Amino acid sequence: MPVRRKIFRIEQGAQAGRADPPSYHAECLPELKALRELLATHQQQNREALERARAQIAGVDAYRGALAVIHTAIAESRPAMEALDNLAGRGPHLERAGRELDAIVADTEQAA
């Protein structure tokens, strides 16, 4: 007499799951495609944001360089301005020129 082999519950579940695999795949594939499209959209947005950030950093670096040049020019011209300021007491024209140069220096420092 042949002995019947006992079928365990896990085997029954596996057999039940194999009964209709095409419908399972048909449900999963559109979901996977939708997820891939969503990820592709986010990757493109991240690339664009990264490019914008890089452009802003380049602009800031250029601005910083221009400010350094202006600062150097002001610092180098300061002794000449102080010398003119000392001479300003010698005459009305020099006094006026000293005030004008002081105003130019002050405006330039405020702009920087």
User: What CA–CA distance (Å, rounded) separates 100 from 110?
Assistant: 15
Provide the strand spans (E) within 1-112: none
* 70, 112 contact by CB (below 8 A): yes
Cα dist. 10→7, 13, 15, 17, 23 in Å? 8, 5, 9, 10, 21
Helix axis angle, 92-111 relative to 21-87, nearest 10°? 170
Encode the chain (112 residues) as per-residue pLDDT tens digits.
677 888 777 777 666 655 455 676 778 888 888 888 888 888 888 888 899 999 999 999 999 999 999 999 999 998 888 887 776 556 677 778 888 999 999 988 887 6
What is the domain partition of the chain in residue ranges?
Answer: 21-111
